[in-house]
Amino acid sequence: MKYILLLLLSINLFAVDATLKIEKDVEQRSHIALVDGSAVPNDQISNILLSDLRISGHFLPDSTVYKGNISSNFIAPALKKQEYVLKYIFSQKSGTKLLIRLLKASDGTQILKKSYAIPSTRKMPFLAHKAVSDINNILKYPDISWINRYVVFSRYTTPGHSEILLADYTFNYQKVIIRGGLNLFPKWADKNQKSFYYTSYKGQIPTLYKINIYTGAKEKIISSEGMLVCSDVSKNGSKLLLTMAPGGQADIYEFDLATKRKTRITRFRGIDVNGRYADDESRIVFVSNRLGYANIFKKSIHSAAVSQVVYHGRNNNACDAYGKKIVYSSRESAHTFGNNTFNLYLTSLTGSAGTRPLTTTGSNQFPRFSPDGSVILFIKHRGDGSSIGYINLGSHQSMLFPLGGRKIQSIDW
């Protein structure tokens, strides 16, 4: 009997993924309940509102969505234990509309009333994201405007072909921006997300383009034999970190968009890729096989010295940086083929803050910091399919959203 009990407790232990662990003190988050006053209830909008509230790390939403009158300030006795009540009406008659009222649960005082409208039903998730973002702001919680952003990603369709799409962070909204051909490595060109860079294989050699997502206007940036990837864009958008191989050797270059001048940053006969601006953009972190396997290194843009950042794992093949924070994926199984375990770790440029595991199960790759560095996006593959995941570094709150079956090639947000 003891063994049976031990086995069951072990199952519990292994079932808990660090990515899904809620470590933030529950008391620090506000209890909130949804009250739907819509003529026709819509599970999709309520589920997205609940997801947004949860991933914010600032709310503990009641998973039950109650029915009620939105215009009244009456708070049902059952909801008095909440701090806030979010009443809303969602309608898809003549466009998509969302009206919200945020009330104090104790006395029904109105804190916020706002309406949102959009002609496209497909873009309905953005209404919910904007509403929750506004609720978060009115309550003066730390900014979560990243939930309003587009995710841009490329995925393979057939051999030699791919497509580039936009999505909301939950992937409920998806739209193809470039269909056909082989177009890879999309990377946002500006913080307002009007344009992105991508690598086109339409010509004889890879060519980097910049495309405006609203007008379709394309601008050729640079070509390179071998390979060409825009790995990072400086905060003011004036410089790019490119992995390119003008002599057949993949190295990292900094490209000045105003002068069209490129400066070689790494010089190594093996593989140097995945350059990311770090610190105040005077340094980069990157992936190199200079120790005989893929690992994470750092260097100043203007000096030759290279330092190792990560001292564990035998295959650390992707990373991202925000200020002094570094996130990387590390292979933790040694299968030549099949499903390997890749976990994400958070560390720092100086190593002073130690290294913190962010995931414990599955294959977790493509780590990307949000523009404010507070959240990490990643792709998780498990036996039951792929998901896009988010880890809120402040609250330790994580969420997964299911992805379609096609293989993601690269992603940015």
Cα 12 to the center of its chain, rounded Å: 28
- Stretch of residues binding other proteins (CB under 8 A), selected from 83-91, 136-144, 198-206, 299-307: 198-206
- Stretch of residues binding other proteins (CB under 8 A), selected from 68-76, 80-88, 298-306, 335-343: 335-343
Q: Is 392 in the site for other proteins (CB under 8 A)?
A: no
Nearest to 246 by CA among 229, 230, 232, 227: 227
Between strands 228-233 and 239-244, the pairing is antiparallel
Q: Is 370 in the site for other proteins (CB under 8 A)?
A: no
Nearest to 197 by CA among 213, 182, 181, 208: 208
Query: Residues touching other proteins: how many (CB under 8 A)?
Result: 99
Whether 121 contacts 93, CB under 8 Å: no
- Stretch of residues binding other proteins (CB under 8 A), selected from 74-82, 136-144, 224-232, 259-267: 224-232
Q: Is 32 in the site for other proteins (CB under 8 A)?
A: no
Q: Is 135 in the site for other proteins (CB under 8 A)?
A: no
130 secondary structure, DSSP code: H
Q: Which x/- pattern, by CB under 8 A, does the window 80-109 give for other proteins?
A: ------------------------------
Nearest to 86 by CA among 148, 8, 30, 167: 30
- Report the distance separating Cα 375 and Cα 187, nearest Å: 18
Residues 6+ apart with CB under 8 A from 6: none
How far is CA 32 from each of CA 57, 105, 282, rounded to the nearest angstrom? 13, 8, 44
- Stretch of residues binding other proteins (CB under 8 A), selected from 113-121, 135-143, 259-267, 277-285: 113-121
Looking at 366, 369, 378, 413, which residue binds other proteins (CB under 8 A)? 366
| Helix, strand or coil, per DSSP, at residue 413 | coil
Q: Is 209 in the site for other proteins (CB under 8 A)?
A: no
Whether 233 contacts 224, CB under 8 Å: no
| Nearer to other proteins (CB atom), residue 82 or residue 162 | 162
- Report the distance separating Cα 164 and Cα 213, nearest Å: 11
Q: Is 35 in the site for other proteins (CB under 8 A)?
A: no
To the nearest whole angstrom, how small is the minimum distance from the Cβ of residue 71 to other proteins?
20
Whether 154 contacts 198, CB under 8 Å: yes
Looking at 56, 365, 392, 395, which residue binds other proteins (CB under 8 A)? 365
Q: Any idea what the Cα angle at residue 168 is, between residues 413 and 126, rounded to 5°? A: 125
To the nearest whole angstrom, how small is the minimum distance from the Cβ of residue 265 to other proteins?
15
To the nearest whole angstrom, how small is the minimum distance from the Cβ of residue 353 to other proteins?
25
| Backbone angles phi and psi of 284, in degrees to 5 | -130, 155
| Nearer to other proteins (CB atom), residue 84 or residue 185 | 185
* Beta partners for residue 337, in sequence order: none
| Nearer to other proteins (CB atom), residue 225 or residue 256 | 225
To the nearest whole angstrom, how small is the minimum distance from the Cβ of residue 25 to other proteins?
19
78 secondary structure, DSSP code: G
Q: Tokens at residue 49, please?
A: 């509102």
Q: Is 40 in the site for other proteins (CB under 8 A)?
A: no
- Report the distance separating Cα 346 and Cα 279, nearest Å: 15
Q: Is 354 in the site for other proteins (CB under 8 A)?
A: no
Looking at 202, 220, 264, 312, which residue binds other proteins (CB under 8 A)? 202
Q: Is 383 in the site for other proteins (CB under 8 A)?
A: no
- Report the distance separating Cα 136 and Cα 275, nearest Å: 34
257 secondary structure, DSSP code: T
Residues in region 255-314 near other proteins by CB under 8 A:
270-274, 287, 294
Q: Is 201 in the site for other proteins (CB under 8 A)?
A: yes
Looking at 31, 104, 123, 325, which residue binds other proteins (CB under 8 A)? 123
To the nearest whole angstrom, how small is the minimum distance from the Cβ of residue 178 to other proteins?
5
The total number of residues shown for the chain amounts to 413
Looking at 225, 256, 264, 311, which residue binds other proteins (CB under 8 A)? 225
Q: Is 126 in the site for other proteins (CB under 8 A)?
A: yes
| Nearer to other proteins (CB atom), residue 15 or residue 305 | 15
To the nearest whole angstrom, how small is the minimum distance from the Cβ of residue 152 to other proteins?
10
